[in-house]
């Protein structure tokens, strides 16, 4: 955690892999809706692609969001947040010329605390959803489950050096000189070295 707190940004990745224990008698499509908290009681809603209903649908999709500040306050806030996963079904038969809304089949949550406290800053697991009143699980059958992954990725040293180097070169090239001797004199390696030292 100490290493993460000294970084200027982090990537938070959420992956929807597959689902199981779905029992359908009607045709339609299933998808997963995720809710991610962004602070100030605001949430981002993300949907996976919709695929035909089967007992074992497979998506293998991932989404990455950048957290621009990685200080201790940001980390503490992230540890208190959860990602809500909703398994949903949509009838793809148009009614009155329109596709209807989706139906919630089950809901589950995973905490970012589990991710941040793991040795690899990543978790991948099956989570059992809590079925809703509109989706009854027949007696003797298991409720739907989702296979999901979450991880926190710190930018690599090379990415940070390149980012700082590009900013430095932009400022250097914007110096406004007219003779051209100070802007392009082969000091690119020096800039990369300076940027690397700043990062360290």
Across all residues in the chain, what is the average pLDDT?
Answer: 74
Q: What is the pLDDT of residue 69?
A: 59
Q: What is the mean pLDDT of residues 118-139?
A: 80
Q: What is the pLDDT of residue 173?
A: 45
Spatial CB neighbours of 134, under 8 Å, sequence gap ≥ 6: 103, 104
pTM score: 0.69
Q: How many CB atoms lie within 10 A of CB 138?
A: 6
Tell me if residue 14 falls in helix, strand or coil: strand
Q: How many CB atoms lie within 10 A of CB 27?
A: 10
């Amino acid at each position: 955690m100490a290493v993460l707190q000294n970084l200027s940004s982090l990537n938070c990745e959420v992956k929807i892999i597959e689902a199981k224990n779905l029992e359908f008698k009607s045709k339609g499509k299933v998808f997963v809706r995720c809710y991610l908290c962004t602070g100030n009681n605001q949430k981002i809603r993300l949907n996976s692609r919709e695929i035909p209903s089967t007992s074992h649908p497979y998506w293998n999709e991932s989404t990455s969001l950048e957290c621009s500040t990685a200080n201790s306050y940001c980390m503490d806030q992230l540890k208190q947040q959860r990602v809500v996963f909703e398994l949903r079904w949509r009838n793809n038969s148009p009614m009155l010329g329109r596709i209807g809304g989706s139906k919630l089949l089950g809901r589950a949550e995973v905490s970012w605390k589990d991710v941040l406290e793991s040795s690899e800053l990543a978790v991948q697991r099956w989570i059992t959803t809590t079925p809703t009143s509109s989706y009854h699980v027949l007696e003797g059958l298991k409720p739907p489950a989702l296979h999901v992954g979450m991880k926190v990725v710190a930018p690599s040293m090379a990415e940070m050096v390149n980012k700082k180097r590009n900013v430095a070169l932009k400022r250097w090239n914007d110096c406004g000189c007219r003779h051209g001797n100070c802007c392009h004199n082969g000091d690119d390696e020096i800039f990369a070295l300076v940027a690397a030292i700043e990062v360290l």
